């Protein structure tokens, strides 16, 4: 068995190439930023 067939036989467990929709990840990231900004303002830390 060569190195190529050994890696091809492995089961994929996820990772950078198995990402879902990029737009969803982008929207969720910005939502987190906005929520944290609102929390900082409400707590008077800014």
Give the model confidence (pLDDT) of 3-43 as tens digits. Answer: 566 556 667 676 666 666 888 899 999 999 999 999 999 99
Question: Distance between CA atoms of 42 and 46, rounded to whole angstroms?
Answer: 9
Here the tokens at position 27 are 């929207």
Question: Distance between CA atoms of 33 and 39, rounded to whole angstroms?
Answer: 10
* pTM for this entry: 0.54
């Amino acid at each position: 068995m060569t190195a190529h067939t050994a890696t091809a036989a492995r089961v994929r467990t996820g990772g950078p190439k198995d990402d879902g929709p990029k737009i969803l990840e982008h929207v969720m990231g910005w939502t987190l930023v906005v929520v944290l900004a609102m929390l900082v303002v409400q707590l008077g830390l800014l």
